[in-house]
Amino acid sequence: MKSFAFVFPGQGSQAVGMLDGWSDHPAVVQTLQEASDALGEDVGRLIHEGPKEQLALTTNTQPVMLVAGVAAWRVWQAEGGALPAAVAGHSLGEYSALVAAGVLTLAQAAPLVRLRAAAMQEAVPVGTGAMAAILGLDATKVIAGCAEVTGAMAQNGTEVVEAVNFNDPAQTVIAGTKAAVEKACEVLKAAGAKRALPLPVSAPFHSSLMKPAAEKLRVALAATALATPQIPVLNNIDVAVQQDADAIRDALYRQAFGPVRWVECVQALKGRGISHIIECGPGKVLAGLVKRIDAELVGAAVYDMNTLTATKELLA
């Protein structure tokens, strides 16, 4: 069998009806019930019926994406899928990876993720922060451009823009205060970026502006018992595999206000001898990034029964 890793998507891949492709698989029904019990609401109805605007609220998006990733993982296991050599998750997806690896239960992770989302939303008032995707420019130039803008606006003292998601070699997401992000988009286009696309998000995720949210998350993590990983979990913030519970907590804390180093994560998985990277959960965003990061790697996605069957055949 080919060596493979499972990776879990984060915010942005949500869609109304995203679990419908599993029909009423017992593993999905059980996952939805666990999450609903943990959060005190009908998570299945929210995912199945929406509306889209409700699903897009950060405080809902983060828990439902956790649930959708875990549901896909549990179906994979129930249908006799082999264990991956490692797991990872993009941003919020790291929580799904930790559930898959047995570090957190879903009942622990769902309230944690909701708290994380609420704290992030409270940290920066809606409309004062922003994010944008910078396309077609080397990441080092994006970092330099953000530093230039932050430095130039430093007399204001409150304006900041940072590179926060390194998604593929030609796509870096920036985040910060609205004025600084807008200025950075101008500067980076002048520096050669093909496009600078504002993102429809409610907060500047993974920027230093999220530090107050991270502090609230740190308190909750300290009170959460973590088990030893049963599968290696590669984290976003250090591109490292940790076994120690305190080290895992610290990485999750810093991840809330630090960059998602996804390009390096995929390269590190390859470095562990992995040839196939399988996205587990709604959408195909991460599977699409695989080839753009390293053409030698194979990317695929598991989001319904058909793709699960096809992936098992691909890995055989």
What is the pTM (predicted TM-score) of this model? 0.96
Q: Which residues are 7's β-sheet partners?
A: 88, 279
- Do 49 and 102 form a contact (C-beta atoms < 8 A)? no
* pLDDT single digits (tens) 6-48: 999 999 899 999 999 999 999 999 999 999 999 999 999 999 9
Could you report the per-residue pLDDT of 114-157, keeping only the tens digit for each? 999 999 999 998 889 999 999 999 999 999 999 999 999 987 77
For the chain, what is the radius of gyration of the CA atoms?
19
Q: Count CB-CB contacts under 10 A for residue 224.
A: 16
Q: Which of 13, 25, 96, 206 is catalytic?
A: 206
Q: How far apart are CA 195 and CA 223, in angstroms?
A: 43
Residue 13: active-site member: no
Which residues 6+ apart lie within 8 Å of 150 measured at CB? 159, 160, 161, 162, 176, 180
Which amino acid belongs to residue 74?
R
Residue for token pair 């419908």: 20
pLDDT for position 126? 83
Adjacency order of strands within the sheet including 276-280: 233-234, 86-89, 4-8, 276-280, 298-302
Q: What's residue 127's pLDDT?
A: 86
Is 48 annotated as catalytic? no
The token pair at 221 is: 């993590």
Distance of CA 194 to the CA centre of its chain: 25
State the DSSP code for 260.
B
Q: Give the active site residue among 13, 25, 90, 91.
A: 91
Buried b (16+ CB within 10 A) or exposed e, 150-180: beebeeeeebbbbbbbbbbeebbbbbbbbbb
pLDDT over 80 (residue 213): yes
Which of 53-57, 135-139, 208-212 is predicted least confidently? 53-57
Q: Report percent pLDDT > 90 for the chain.
A: 95
Look-up of token digits 């990876």: 97
- pLDDT beyond 90 at 190: yes
Q: Confidence class of residue 69 from pLDDT cuts 50, 70 and 90? A: very high
Is 281 strand, coil or helix?
A: coil
pLDDT of 237: 97
Q: What pLDDT shows up at residue 200?
A: 86
> According to the model, what pLDDT value does residue 27 have?
98
| pLDDT tens for each residue of 104-123 | 999 999 999 999 999 999 99
Output the pLDDT for position 44: 96
Question: In the structure, what pLDDT confidence band is assigned to residue 198 with cuts at 50, 70 and 90?
Answer: very high
pLDDT for res 157: 75
Residue 173 has pLDDT above 90, yes or no: yes
In terms of phi and psi (left: phi > 0; alpha: psi -120 to 50; beta: otherwise), the region of 109 is: alpha
